[in-house]
Amino acid sequence: MVLPSIEPRQNYCQWLINVKLSRIVVMVLTILILTPLITHFYLSKVERSANSVSHSHVDLPEDLADLREVDLRVGVEELVRIRGSVLSELRNIEKKRQQFKQELQSYSKNIEDLKLELAHQQTNLNRLKMSVEQAEVAMHEALQQNTPDLALPQRLLPNELPPKLPAISKERSRNCRMFSCFDHSRCSLTSGFPVYLYDPDQHPVMNDGWDVDGFLKTTLKQVLGYNPHLTQNPTDACIFLVLVGEALKDTDDVTENIGNHLNLPPLDSKALQRLPYWGGDGRNHVLLNLARRDLSATSGDIFSDIDTGRAILVQSTFYHDYFRPNFDLIVSPVLGPPGGDVWQECAYMLPSRRKYLLSFQGEMKSTPKSNTTSKQFLFTDAQLEKENVELNNYILQHLKNLATTHTSDKFLFNFECVPASDDTTLLPFDWALCGTDSSRRGILKDSTFVLIFAPTSTDYLSTTLLQARVYEALRSGAIPLILGGDQIQLAYHEVIQWRRVAIFLPKARVTELHFLLRTIPDEDIMLFRKQGRLVWERYLASVQSTLDTIVAVLRDRLNIPALPADTVAGISVFNETFQPILVPAVGDVEQEESLGPLEPPYNSLAFRRNYSLGLTQGHEIWNDWGDPFRLYAALPTDPILPSDAKFIGSERGFRPIASGAGGSGKEFSEALGGNSPREQFTILLLTYEREQVLLDSIARLRGLPYLNSVVVIWNSPRLPSADLRWPDIGVTVHIIKAARNSLNNRFLPLDNLQTEAILSVDDDAHLRHDEILFGFRVWREHRDRIVGFPGRFHAWDLNTKNSWLYNSNYSCELSMVLTGASFLHRHYLHLYWKWLPQAVRDKVDEYMNCEDIAMNFLVSHITQKPPVKVTSRWTFRCPGCPQSLSEDDTHFQERHKCINYFTQVFGYTPLLNTQYRADSILFKTRIPHDKQKCFKFI
């Protein structure tokens, strides 16, 4: 488009106005000067004539005197007429002058508008140039890309059931490993790891007189149904699960007598052979012996005399000689509920140091029960048995002396008590549980550390009693100190870093126990306790977590990625036949500043690390921020390349400023820069029956660089009016219908969120484009944190001294950034709905408040970092908007309560304080006139 020349037109208008004004001035001056002179001359002449008449009127004729009076009257009337004509002309001239003045103002305004339009068009031209340059770079990268067409590998999913092969010998079975006894051809990399469960009612594997715990049978089928890997088609299965235990005596008298008479073991080896998919040798079968009731030292060892072939054994009790590393799996007993929220079971993590530094509750039994079989005793060396007895006596004596020494530390040791159950079967000189579950829990909640003894017999790698004591300790927030920890293994040890959860001390070093505990500072006590709670909640707390963990560990061994995390389908408020009315957006005029290129939508790359994530960050996935049960499109902790990689070998996708040379504002606006490849962001906007406010907010987004799409969650049950005129802002606007009115909907993990960066915005928040883009650029450097504008903080209540207060006053510290205007990673939306306890979301619904506080709790808990506040923006005002929820008198009272309630759920307050905010580089720097600031107003 060619714009008209402005300068000649302006000069011509000015000349024309000057000419007209000159003519008017000349006419006015002529009239004002000549008219009085002529009038004065005429009146003087008349007066002289009158005087002459008065002196000589006798000599004049009578009709001549009359004629003079008529002429005088006519002259006066003529003057009056002339005067009126002059006044009329003056009024016309003034009117024309006003018209010319208005025209002049109009021309001046047009000139200014043309200047603004020229600047606006110049800005758009610059943006288009930048967009073309970026498109050329993208095209060049696509042409230079030397990636071959890569198809998925041939799926190894079998077409038939496992063929029957000859059984293997017991000797070979005892030496089984994954490479020798597992059929990998049934578990291809892309198979998704399908798991088949034998129905324990249709395929019993117990001998007469024994039965599987009914609770376990019912619960296992129920909770495994929620596991995405479960398949009903055995032809596709990678592994086959068989529920073996916990074995209980049949309540029927007849069968019980038969079982006792025949002295049959719980497990029927012939029943295993009869399983329809056993295949002769049991390959890819997993035998689950899950203890729930019997917590004795030797419970669950039912595979000693049974031929299990190539099957994987999963239980709590193992001998060193019978355990096959990285093949069999040690698990914790299932002592929790089937599933659901378990946070109520957890104790507070504070105070870090509790009443007792160390506690123990248990009793050593020296006489085995009559129903103990010889298979349970492996003491064949009398000298070894004597040494064990002497060592245990020495340990007991030292602990008793420690409890009576004069020290400020308190110890609670109870070595004489009644076992929890008279049916408990023990080895000679082994430990029994002491007291009831509730009484033990009360002591554990008052203990900083809890002493746990390894099995007296060194033949045991693990026992159900040992695993149960660890379970109880972690549930109560007591840090396990395992004496003899060098001889045992805890549940899922191949993936869980237990050294971050418990302290392992050889029995011979019992004298170092007190010194060691006193060297651990409060910070490390909190790390132990927090890690213990993470392990307990995620892997041990319920039947569902136990089953999910077993499946995940087996899948992890094969390096098969988990299935993708579930998303929520974004259902539009408009049906297929209704087309919303789109009109050009007319929003507030933004500052004329080149902020970045206008590009077509570019979705974030997804699922790039499916097969490498577990290899490079497997320990973090299991022990830190990760989720080993699901696969996510991207994580906020994905690694970044070093700075020089984007210039040497890995430049595809990067947009360094001035091709790497750097620069000030002009070069800064032309490229995204940073340490990550190019990307865009999605605006997630929650609204409720404020249609005009919403439309105005959307219209203001026109021309916003790096905007991928806008997703509006329509939280009202009343659908939008059909005649609404939606602004066309150049990107897709999705209007999603919420299932119900809830503030939790702000964080729905919708399937149409195609970018990692999510800008969560209230419908009445008014952010300038430069503020949004600055926040986006800062977030790209802090991808794991909340980055936004309005800051708040939690303050200690000095009146009660035992609770927190929510505070929005201006402060030099803040601990929260409200999600009404902030950037966060898409991954946290999944965690908010899948990981956060339901009790938190229920409290949000109860108060219709606090969802932003909940998200700050979640992110700070995971990252152990405070949020990042950007710019000087502290709050938002929306003149003319209907009253918002935050203006209610009860708003702040509810937020006080939310912080304290969320603290109970988390067990502590994860919010951390920060004392800085992020502003733009060069903002207050004096720079040369030929340079530009990064952002003019930030």
Q: Which residues are catalytic?
A: 852
Rounded distance, CA 288 to CA 309, Å?
Answer: 15
Neighbours of 36 (CB within 10 A): 10
The C-alpha torsion from 881 through 886 and 887 to 889, rounded to 10°, is 160
Tokens of 187: 């578990």
Is 210 within 8 Å of 247 (Cβ atoms)?
yes
Amino acid code (one letter) for 734 = H
Torsion 837-622-529-458 (CA) sign: positive
Contacts of 91 (CB under 8 A, 6+ apart): none
**Exposure of 473 by Cβ count < 10 A (0-12 exposed, 13-18 middle, 19+ buried)?**
buried
Amino acid code (one letter) for 753 = L
Residue with the two structure tokens 């490479």:
179
Which residue pairs from 145-148 have beta carbons closer than 8 angstroms and sit at least 24 positions apart in sequence?
A: 145/652
* Segments of 399-440 assigned E as strands: 411-414, 430-433
Q: What size, in residues, is the chain? A: 938
Is 443 within 8 Å of 354 (Cβ atoms)?
no
What 3-state DSSP class applies to 631?
strand
Nearest Cα residue to 173 out of 302, 311, 267, 266: 311
Residue with the two structure tokens 């008052």:
446
Tokens of 155: 């799926």
DSSP-assigned letter for residue 434 = B
What 3-state DSSP class applies to 405?
coil
Contacts of 672 (CB under 8 A, 6+ apart): 596, 655, 678, 679, 706, 777, 780
Bond into 351 cis (ω within 30): yes
What's phi and psi for 630, nearest 5 deg?
-140, 160
What 3-state DSSP class applies to 273?
helix
Can you spell out the DSSP letters for 670-731? H---SSS----EEEEEEESS-HHHHHHHHHTTTT-TTEEEEEEEE-SSSPPPTT-EEEE-SS
Rounded distance, CA 525 to CA 532, Å?
Answer: 11
Is 539 within 8 Å of 546 (Cβ atoms)?
yes
Is 776 within 8 Å of 823 (Cβ atoms)?
yes
Which residue pairs from 892-896 have beta carbons closer than 8 angstroms and sit at least 24 positions apart in sequence?
A: 892/806, 892/808, 894/847, 894/849, 894/850, 895/806, 895/849, 895/850, 895/853, 896/803, 896/804, 896/805, 896/806
Residue with the two structure tokens 């201006």:
810
What's phi and psi for 477, nearest 5 deg?
80, 15
DSSP-assigned letter for residue 155 = P
Is 656 within 8 Å of 674 (Cβ atoms)?
no
Is 450 within 8 Å of 398 (Cβ atoms)?
no
Q: For the chain, how far is it from start to end, CA to CA, in angstroms?
A: 33
Bridge partner list, 230: 195
Report which secondary-structure segment, H or E, holds 452.
strand 447-453
Contacts of 667 (CB under 8 A, 6+ apart): 657, 658, 661
